[in-house]
């Protein structure tokens, strides 16, 4: 009798186990990225619609923090300066959510971020374009904003309001011309 039980157990296991296990194999749980008709497709979900400017202002900092932290393994973000060829070691100083504006429509927003070179302590302003569409928000591009050039000092003689400009100073009173 024991030998017969072992034979049935062996046949049962060879056949694939329990009926419930066979059913689970026939209907597997879909996994993201799996190919086939039964696969889960996040893009097939209905879109929630474009993000509002207020929501983008709330989430802009989070996306920038994640972007920079992914690229900062040593506590700074190494970025090659195209003009000099030197590597700048940038740290995030501030994000300006008030500068955020919609660009290109449909959930793309651009905003200003202040970075600082860890060595020279130079402050650098950069504009980040963030894509808030889809299931993963991401930085699409970053560009450095040029610093304003210093204004040239005016060398012309200024005149008082209501008086004509003079080319030379007037002689003191009581002296002949």
Structural domains in the chain, sorted by start:
53-145 (3.10.450)
Report, as ranges of residue numbers, the positions in the chain whose pLDDT lies below 70.
1-49, 154-177
pLDDT for the residue numbered 146? 84
99: left (phi over 0), alpha (psi -120 to 50) or beta: alpha
pLDDT for the residue numbered 25? 46
Chain segment 75-102, per-residue pLDDT in tens: 899 998 888 888 999 999 999 989 999 9
Site of tokens 């070179």:
117
pLDDT for the residue numbered 152? 74
Cα 114 to chain centroid distance, Å, stands at 13
**Helix (H/G/I), strand (E/B), else coil: 39:** coil
Asked whether the beta carbons of 127 and 142 are under 8 A apart, the reply is yes
Cα 62 to chain centroid distance, Å, stands at 8
């Amino acid at each position: 009798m024991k030998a017969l039980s072992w034979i049935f157990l062996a046949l049962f296991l060879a056949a694939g186990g329990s009926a419930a296990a066979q059913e689970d194999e026939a209907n597997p749980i879909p996994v993201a990225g799996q190919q086939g008709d039964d696969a889960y497709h996040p893009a097939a979900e209905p879109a929630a619609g474009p993000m509002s400017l207020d929501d983008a202002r709330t989430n802009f900092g989070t996306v920038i923090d994640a972007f920079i932290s992914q690229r900062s393994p040593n506590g700074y973000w190494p970025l090659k300066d195209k003009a000099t060829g030197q590597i700048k070691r940038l740290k995030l100083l501030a994000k300006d959510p008030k500068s955020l504006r919609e660009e290109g429509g449909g959930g793309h927003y651009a905003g200003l971020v202040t970075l600082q070179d860890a060595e020279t302590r130079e402050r650098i302003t950069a504009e980040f374009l963030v894509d808030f569409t889809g299931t993963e928000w991401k930085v699409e591009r970053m560009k450095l904003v040029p610093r304003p050039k210093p204004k040239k000092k005016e060398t012309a003689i200024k005149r008082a309001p209501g008086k004509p400009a003079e080319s030379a100073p007037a002689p003191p009173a009581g002296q002949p011309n």
